A = this chain, B = another copy of it.
């Protein structure tokens, strides 16, 4: 996750909660949803932690930023903790999104069931290529990028997903900002600059592989110690 704005402590959110904690909340949520689907009504910090590779103390400490969720002798009630984490992350409501760039990655993202399952509603896709504009991909209509302001306003689009090549990303980001989008998920492998008040998460797939390489080397070193 990237932070494109100057921030005295880039590892914390404005509320002083470390970003790593917010990241782990998403992991806890995914695991709790899995437990609920398999008919587990309750869990504990040690059970939740052990699946994810964290200590029980870590789980308790992370949750303690937001309140008291466990019950003595019971642990956590899955459905209750799911509700609480969704509320903290803001995914207890529906977010209206658009996607810009329907190349290979954009098409894959439009077909990604995980978005819909977690309450993200992609209401429009945009591109500038004539053979794409006017088509419909996974039930989402593709419009010319020039129609972004009009459709963003009509549909109250809050989040924008950028899936265009790196050289086009900043211009697309600027147009999303002009159209009143509050948050951008950027898959273009480049840094984009945004004004204050517009949030940003960057996902660079090659960077994730780089992180994996480092982990592999790090693990080899450890084995050779």
Contact call B55/A6, Cβ cutoff below 8 A: yes
- Cα A221 to Cα B13 with chains together (Å): 11
Query: Are the CB atoms of A52 and B2 closer together than 8 Å?
Result: yes
Contact status of A216 and B20, CB under 8 A, knowing A91-B210, A115-B205, A191-B27: no
**A203 adjacent to B205 (CB under 8 Å):** yes
Please tell me if the beta carbons of B185 and A218 are within 8 angstroms of each other in the complex.
no
A97 to B, closest residue via Cβ: B209
Contacts A53-B7, A104-B107 hold; do A222 and B14 have CB atoms under 8 A apart? Answer: yes
A211 with B52, Cβ < 8 A, contacts A120-B206, A190-B34, A203-B203 known? no
The answer, among B104, B182, B213, for a CB contact under 8 Å with A112, is B104
| Interface size counted on chain A using CB atoms at 8 A | 86
Copies of this chain present in the complex amount to: 2
Q: Which residues of B contact A182 (CB under 8 A)?
A: 216, 219-220
A174 at interface (Cβ–Cβ under 8 A)?
no
Residue of B nearest to A92 (CB): B213
Q: Using a CB-CB cutoff of 8 Å, which residues 149-187 of chain A contact chain B?
A: 158-159, 161, 182-185
Which among A5, A95, A215, A218 has the highest number of chain B CB atoms within 10 Å? A215
Contacts of A212 on B, CB cut-off 8 Å?
A: 159, 183-185, 199-201
Q: Other than the known A2-B52, A3-B53, A114-B206, what 11 A-B pairs have Cβ atoms closer than 8 Å?
A: A4-B53, A6-B54, A10-B54, A14-B221, A22-B214, A25-B214, A90-B217, A95-B213, A112-B205, A114-B189, A185-B208
